[in-house]
């Protein structure tokens, strides 16, 4: 039976037992919070007014998807939520669990109704594995808590999403991370026996990339490896000492850690900045590190619309073809298709005009609400609506010269309001010229 790393048996267990660190466990395990009051961060969820806190006060817990970067406490939070309600707890890791493992846990959970089933890295579950969960979640046999570092909209099937609430866990702030370090030095049964003085925090925080688990384990490595001052016996932690002892962390690509986010950021910015050489380098780094090629292809799809946009509308079609091809072909040959698409996007003219247009339009709707649709544009499926004039005076564009008839499409309160400003490139220069011919001064094109 494939299980999570915190225990050896997937039989539903009292979660409090799973929060106890085994002898000789790494510092991150020893410092795992035992209660919600010890939990660092995510106050928007578990603070006095947090939505998860309100669920606990009501004595119930819905199925949840916890979405956030590595090391912000998704696994720990799942344990603590179950512990607060004294519900049986079982866990699977999507890395090595199959459909049979899911069904086995569900069968056991039928004997302990209300079991919380935690699935780490649920985005790695296939559709069939996720389908196996549906009946048990719907019938209340298990309360599902899934943890993911990837956008659930892409990685979790709609049927599961419709049965679970998605909550976003935020990156931990500098103050929270330094507090975690200070408390570990003051309270950990091993570290508090040593004379440790924190002179610098910057390197510890930078190398761990906001991942509290990595932060604590790196702290332990540094404390155990650093040489005490010969006169005072004090271990002084400086940025220089941390960097010397942690070079291996800086040199490797970790697809599940901070380098994952740094490299994909550099990759996107290189394409946006029209540098195909840098973009290909970062693509190679990700592929050599074992990154999921579909994750890369999805990001290219977004970039094709956000950053190339109307300057080269074919970019979106090529990116879509890339995603489909990579999905069908997989690796290793998928790198050829990814490479071609990266070069095409990086060397395309760029425009974010359509991206800015929809963002501006949505912001206005949120601010002002929905304005009435003009009467000529309204549908008239009933006699009453026809009597009220719905659809009257609408001019069918194809009945006019050039397939265009000047009429009001905007709600009255927004007449003449412009969302789309064409970018400065040959393709959108032609678009602007057409808009000027059609609309004259109405939208200021």
Per-residue pLDDT band for 151 (boundaries 50, 70, 90) equals confident
Domains 15-168 and 374-439 share a fold: no
- As a CATH number, domain 174-251 is 1.10.8.60
419: left (phi over 0), alpha (psi -120 to 50) or beta: alpha
Topology of domain 15-168 in CATH is Rossmann fold (3.40.50)
Per-residue pLDDT at 165 exceeds 80: yes
Q: Which two tokens stand for residue 55?
A: 């669920």
The Cα 425–Cα 130 span in angstroms is 45
**Strands laid side by side in the 115-120 sheet:** 89-93, 115-120, 142-148, 64-67, 165-168
Is there a contact between 74 and 46 (Cβ–Cβ < 8 Å)?
Answer: no
pLDDT in tens, 350-400: 999 999 999 899 888 888 888 888 888 888 778 777 777 888 888 888 888
Domain chopping of the chain, boundaries = 15-168, 174-251, 258-347, 374-439
pLDDT of the residue at 250: 46
User: Taking the CB of residue 35, how many other CB atoms lie within 10 A of it?
Assistant: 11
State the number of CA atoms in the 13 A half-sphere of 136 facing the CB.
26
Of 351, 263, 262, the C-alpha closest to 313 is 351
Higher pLDDT, 341 or 205: 341
pLDDT of the residue at 13: 61
The Cα 113–Cα 389 span in angstroms is 58
pLDDT in tens, 297-317: 999 999 999 999 999 999 999
Burial classification of residue 58, based on how many CB atoms lie within 10 Å of its CB (0-12 exposed, 13-18 middle, 19 or more buried): exposed
What's the CATH architecture for 258-347?
Up-down Bundle (1.20)
Per-residue pLDDT at 148 exceeds 70: yes
Per-residue pLDDT band for 254 (boundaries 50, 70, 90) equals low
Q: How far does the chain reach from its first CA to its final CA, in angstroms? A: 65
Is this structure's pTM higher than 0.75? no
Q: Report the range of poorest mean pLDDT among 109-118, 272-281, 320-329.
A: 109-118
The predicted model gives 197-209 an average pLDDT of 84
Which one-letter DSSP state was computed for residue 13?
B
CATH of 374-439, one of 3.40.190, 1.10.10, 1.10.3710, 1.10.3470: 1.10.3710
Place of tokens 């939070």: 77
User: Taking the CB of residue 409, how many other CB atoms lie within 10 A of it?
Assistant: 10
pLDDT of the residue at 33: 85
């Amino acid at each position: 039976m494939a299980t999570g790393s915190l225990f050896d048996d997937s039989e539903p267990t009292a979660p409090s037992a799973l929060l106890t660190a085994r002898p000789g466990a790494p510092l991150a395990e020893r410092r795992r919070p035992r209660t919600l009051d010890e939990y660092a961060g995510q106050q928007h969820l578990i603070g006095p007014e947090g939505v998860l806190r309100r669920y606990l006060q009501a004595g119930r817990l819905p199925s949840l998807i916890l979405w956030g970067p590595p090391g912000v406490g998704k696994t720990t939070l799942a344990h603590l939520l179950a512990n607060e309600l004294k519900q049986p707890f079982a866990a699977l890791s999507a890395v090595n669990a199959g459909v049979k493992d899911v069904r086995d846990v569900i069968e056991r959970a039928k004997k302990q109704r209300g079991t919380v089933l935690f699935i780490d890295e649920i985005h790695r579950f296939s559709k069939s594995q996720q389908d196996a969960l549906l009946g048990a979640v719907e019938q209340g046999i298990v309360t599902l808590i899934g943890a993911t570092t990837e956008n659930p909209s892409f990685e979790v099937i709609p049927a599961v999403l419709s049965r679970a609430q998605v909550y976003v866990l935020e990156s931990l702030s500098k103050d929270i991370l330094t507090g975690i370090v200070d408390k570990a030095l003051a309270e950990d049964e091993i570290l508090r026996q040593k004379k440790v003085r924190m002179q610098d925090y910057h390197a510890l925080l930078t190398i761990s990339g906001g991942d509290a688990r990595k932060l604590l384990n790196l702290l332990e490595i540094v404390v155990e490896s650093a040489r005490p001052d010969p006169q005072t016996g004090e271990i002084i932690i400086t940025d220089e000492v941390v960097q010397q002892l942690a070079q291996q962390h800086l040199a490797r690509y970790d697809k599940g850690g901070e380098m994952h986010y740094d490299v994909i950021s550099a990759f996107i910015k290189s394409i946006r900045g029209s540098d195909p050489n840098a973009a290909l380098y970062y693509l190679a780094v990700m592929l050599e590190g074992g990154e999921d090629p579909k994750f890369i292809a999805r990001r290219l799809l977004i970039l094709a619309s956000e950053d190339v946009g109307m300057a080269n509308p074919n970019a979106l079609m090529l990116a879509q073809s890339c995603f489909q091809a990579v999905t069908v072909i997989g690796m290793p040959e998928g790198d050829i298709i990814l490479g071609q698409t990266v070069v095409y996007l990086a060397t395309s003219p760029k425009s974010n005009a359509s991206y800015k247009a929809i963002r501006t339009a949505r912001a206005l709707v949120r601010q002002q609400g929905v304005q009435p649709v003009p009467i000529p544009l309204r549908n008239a499926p009933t006699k009453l609506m026809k009597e009220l004039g719905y659809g009257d005076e609408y001019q069918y564009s194809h009945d006019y010269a050039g397939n265009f008839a000047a009429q009001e499409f905007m709600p009255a309160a927004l007449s003449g309001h412009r969302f789309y400003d064409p970018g400065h490139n040959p393709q959108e220069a032609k678009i602007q010229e057409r808009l000027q011919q059609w609309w004259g001064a109405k939208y200021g094109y």
